[in-house]
Structure formats: C-alpha cells, structure tokens
Amino acid sequence: MSKGQSNTELITLIVMAVAAIAFSGWMIVDSRGFADSLKLPVVAEKKDFGAVPIEKASAAILRLTENFKSWISPVRSNKPVHLNKSVLLVQKDDKIFDLFLEDPLLRAPMSNEYLRKNGLAYLSPNVGEMDPDKDGFTNLEEFHRGTNPKDAQSHPPVTDKLYLVQRISHDFIIVLKSSSPPYQVFITPTDGKRKGFFVEEGKPFGQGVGERFVGGKFEKKVVPDPKTGEKDVSELAVEDKVQKTKLTLVKDVEQNLAEYDAKLEFRLGSVVQTIVEKKGGTFRLKGYDAITYKIIDIQDDNAVISQIDEKGLTGKEIVIKKG
C-alpha cells in the first residue's frame, strides 16, 4: 500500500467519526423536548354554579307523573292495533290489505285469518287452487269445510268429490186405451216392445213384465171439449206391486213408470272412478272400500245417497250434485 492511499483512508475515518459525534449530540438535544410534549395541558378551573336546584327538579318530575298519559291503541275496522305487535300488510293492485283484519279480503272468499294461520301462499293469485298437503282437496275446498289444508288426514268428506254425471232413464209406459169392458191397457216396457192387456178388477195383469199390476175400479168420466163437444177422461185404478204405489190411469194419457240408474263419477286427485247403479243399489269408492253407500233417490240434477252399516241401516242422507 502506498503512503498517499494510507493518508486518504485516515482522513475518511476522521470525517465519519466527527459526523457520528455531531448526530449523537443532536439526538440528545432533541430528546429533551419530547418529555415536555407528554405533559397534560393545564385546564382552567370552571366557575362554581352554586347549589343544585333540588326543589325545581322534584317539581318538574312531579308534574310529569301527575300528567301521565297512557298509550291508547288506534282502532281500525273495530280492532285495536297493538303497539308491540307487527302488522302483516300486503299490497295488491295498489291497495293495502291488513291480514290481521277481515275486511277487505285478500283472496275472497277465504278469510284473511285462514290464510295467515295456516301459512298459505297468500301472495299467489291461485292460492285457492293449491293443495299443499296433497290430499286431493284444494285450499278453497278445505276452507269451506273448515279442515286443515296442511294436514292430509284432515280433509272434507270424500263424497264431496262424487258427482252425478247423468240420470239414465229406463222408460216404462202404461196407458188406458178403452173405456168399456174389457178395459184395454197397453204397456211399453224398457225393451220398447208394446204389449196389450185386458184388465179385470182384482186380477193381476202384465204377463211378460212380471205381472206387476193388479186391476182396480173403473170410473166413466167425460169433460167438455171445444172441438168434439166432449172428451172421454175415464179413469182406471191400478196397483203397481213393484213400486208399491197406486195409479190412476186416464184414457189416452201415457204415464211413464221409468226406473233410473245414476251414473256417478268419483274424482279425487288422479283417481277417477265411474259408477252406474240403480235406485236402491249399493257401491263403494275406490280407496275407501270399508264404506258402503246406498242410492236413496235419483233426480235429473242430483242424487241422494247414504252410508250404510254392516246391518244395512242407513245414516245421514248426502246430496250429490250434478257436475
């Protein structure tokens, strides 16, 4: 190493040492001000406002308690609205419906209470047609019967799903054709083949149709007629042993002693059962084979049935509507 290079390095070391001493001195001086920055500011003491006005405060509290006003619930549709209870509101066609009130009805004719308490999908326009418990009955049908639409074991009577489709007539025509002995009666049974019989009082007639009739008294009658002068309306009394009734046959006036079958249809969900049975006949519904029903009467627009027990005794009559 040369003598010149050695001098340069020495000078460099001396300069760095001086710089380090100067920096250390600056840090010591600056640290003295840091302690002062931690001191809390001196706050001037506030003025004394004097004694607390206990009497005035007590008087104010007394006035508030003396004039206390209790909460009065607002009333809507004669029903109080509770302060601590929420109100279920639904908007429909720019109109607000309160489901805790029954007027107006959101999904008429179902009540708002029925929709709310059973947790039905009241926001759906077709909520009445839904069947959430899958028992074959809609919400609307269960509402009318007062059953639980969320419980498959609670449903309307299954006969609500039974309908009269048609009253099938088996015509049986009987008519008096003479007014002098032997009295002639014509019968057209269900097969359409007309038969004639001579009737005597107290004797059966109707061979070929079970001799179901017995001749009675004959009475000669005429009434004025504008075209012929008079009209023969003679009458013959007849007993029907099948229907257990007494008839009065009027000359040339047909009477239809028709027997009827009821064509019924059971429609419960996917089950569709067709039943054709005459008056007095019995039947059972698919899926409910333990119950036997008897047809009591058949009209053009309805049928009357009744449940019967193992002894053949009938219960309450049920009207089955045409549909």
Q: How many domains does the chain have?
A: 3
Inform me whether the pLDDT recorded for 30 exceeds 70: no
Residues 91 and 152 in one domain: yes
Task: Provide mean pLDDT across the span 20-29.
Answer: 67
**Does residue 15 lie in a domain region?**
no
Where is the domain boundary, 256, 271, 297? 256
**Does residue 65 lie in a domain region?**
no
Residues 273 and 304 in one domain: yes
Residues 193 and 237 in one domain: yes
At residue 47, the pLDDT reads: 62
Mean per-residue pLDDT over the chain, rounded: 87
**Does residue 28 lie in a domain region?**
no
Task: Provide mean pLDDT across the span 281-286.
Answer: 96
At residue 21, the pLDDT reads: 73
Residue 41: is the preceding peptide bond cis (ω within 30°)?
no
Question: Distance of alpha carbon 178 from its chain centroid, rounded?
Answer: 61
At residue 93, the pLDDT reads: 87
Residue 239 is part of which domain span?
Answer: 172-256
Residues 202 and 243 in one domain: yes
Residue predicted with more confidence, 134 or 49: 134
Task: Provide mean pLDDT across the span 29-48.
Answer: 60
At residue 40, the pLDDT reads: 63
- pLDDT single digits (tens) 61-93: 777 777 666 666 666 667 676 666 677 888 888
**Does residue 264 lie in a domain region?**
yes
Inform me whether the pLDDT recorded for 272 exceeds 60: yes
- pLDDT single digits (tens) 149-200: 999 999 999 999 999 999 999 999 999 999 999 999 999 998 899 999 999 9
Q: How confident is the model at residue 8 (pLDDT cuts 50, 70, 90)?
A: low
Inform me whether the pLDDT recorded for 96 exceeds 70: yes
Where is the domain boundary, 123, 156, 189? 156
Inform me whether the pLDDT recorded for 49 exceeds 70: no
**Does residue 5 lie in a domain region?**
no
**Does residue 247 lie in a domain region?**
yes
At residue 15, the pLDDT reads: 65
**Does residue 76 lie in a domain region?**
no
**Does residue 185 lie in a domain region?**
yes
At residue 31, the pLDDT reads: 61
Inform me whether the pLDDT recorded for 137 exceeds 60: yes
Residues 185 and 248 in one domain: yes
Where is the domain boundary, 256, 273, 289? 256
Inform me whether the pLDDT recorded for 35 exceeds 60: no
